[in-house]
Homo-oligomer: A and B are copies of this chain.
């Protein structure tokens, strides 16, 4: 996370919560829960992880991109950001 410790802490907190929700998905599967309910719970985990991506990207743009943008790495960083956008 390269020095943006606020983003890092926020992201870690949310990862831990997502892990708890993923345990719940596992329990629902093991307990024969109704399929659409399991999918909804699993989607909530995916949405939570997507939010983690946003927090990390935000920290990255602040702590890395804004500092190095005129350095040699700027072109590489732009490509990386567009690549993250593409694969979403």
Beta-carbon contacts under 8 Å, A1-51 to B:
1-2, 8, 11-12, 15-16, 18-19, 22-23, 25-26, 29-30, 32-36, 38-40, 42-43, 45-46, 49-50
Instruction: Give the shortest distance, in Å, between A3 (CB) and chain B (any CB).
Output: 8
Given B15, B45, B78, which contacts A29 in the complex, CB threshold below 8 Å? B15
Q: Are A57 and B39 in contact (CB under 8 A)?
A: yes
Given B1, B15, B49, which contacts A35 in the complex, CB threshold below 8 Å? B1
Q: Which residue of B lies closest to A53 (CB)?
A: B39
Q: Are A12 and B35 in contact (CB under 8 A)?
A: no
Q: Which residues of B contact A33 (CB under 8 A)?
A: 1
A72 on interface, CB distance cutoff 8 Å: no
